Amino acid sequence: MAAQGPEVLKHHQQGNVCFTRPKYREGRRLRAVKVYTINLESRHLLVQGVPAVGVMKELIELFALYGTIEEYFVLHEYPAEEFTEVYHIKYQRLQSARIAKRKQDERSFFGSLLHVCYAPEFETVEDTREKLKERRRYIMRVTSNKDRDLYKAEKKVGKPDTFPNVTREASSENSEHCGSLEPNQQEWNTDSMTTQLHDRKKINQQMNINIFDGLDTDTTAVVIGPKLPEIPKVDMGDNSLNVSATLIRNKLTEVLSVSTTEAEVSQIKPPKQRRRI
């Protein structure tokens, strides 16, 4: 039932800070601890501590960030501190009112700290009925999801019980099948396995030989790894052509070595001579 006139009720007052909370529950600053049920929550909010300097537009724009506002007005008869006003704001959804209260409570607004609290006394009977119906639908949705998850978990746990029977049946069938094999067939299986093992050994030995073919036979040299392949020699098909090709190749290597040494020498700057006075 709607209230006839505003009164300073107990749930409108700001609670004292709690000093007995565990360390892991404390935030950056101390807060009051209060539990809200669906009866105490409401779409109606009272915003106290608003400076009386004509900032209604800025206040409504700030609270409109959290949801659609149905109505708002100033409570002139509500007892407030000097030079401050109390505003009544009604949201379209309850969740919007929850977020706005949590975000804007004890926040600075034009140099004053706001105090936001629920005002369920402004609700009508229809508002209360809709609020309880919405809460009931939410509880049914959450519990149904939990039951569904529990059912899935039970099915997953129950599945492994069927596996041992299948394996036992399969093992019994395999044992019967193995027992029914003739001795000649069992001997043929063992012979084929031994031949496969011998073939594998030969292949492995050949691979090891191919890897170490390029190594030197000198036992005194330290072997670090497989020898890298040498540069292939080009055969021109004629002795004179081969001699000329080797001469050209040696000349190129000589020129390249000389150019690198000259570049290193050019990079080294000559020492600066000191003038004697």
> In angstroms, rounded to a whole number, what is the distance separating the alpha carbons of residues 26 and 20?
9
H/E element holding 264?
Answer: helix 239-267
**What is the edge-to-edge ordering of all strands in the sheet holding 44-51?**
69-74, 84-91, 44-51, 115-118
At 97 the pLDDT is: 92
At 256 the pLDDT is: 78
Is residue 75 within 8 Å of 6, Cβ to Cβ?
yes
Is residue 112 within 8 Å of 50, Cβ to Cβ?
yes
At 181 the pLDDT is: 47
Tokens coding 94: 């309850």
At 13 the pLDDT is: 76
Q: Partners of 190 in the beta sheet? A: none
At 263 the pLDDT is: 62
Tokens coding 210: 């191919």
pLDDT in tens, 166-204: 445 545 555 554 554 455 555 555 666 777 777 777 777
pLDDT in tens, 71-110: 999 988 888 888 999 999 999 999 999 999 988 888 899 9
> In angstroms, rounded to a whole number, what is the distance separating the alpha carbons of residues 174 and 166?
12
> In angstroms, rounded to a whole number, what is the distance separating the alpha carbons of residues 156 and 168?
21
Q: What is the CA 248 to chain-centroid distance, rounded?
A: 64
Place of tokens 């929550």: 41
> Could you tell me the mean pLDDT of each successive run of 10 residues in the chain, 277 residues long?
58 76 80 81 91 90 92 88 90 92 88 89 90 90 77 63 49 51 52 74 66 50 59 70 83 77 63 70
Buried/exposed code over 50-88 (b: 16+ C-beta within 10 A; e: otherwise): beeeebeeebeebbeebbebeebeebeebebeeeebbbb
> In angstroms, rounded to a whole number, what is the distance separating the alpha carbons of residues 204 and 210?
10
At 167 the pLDDT is: 47
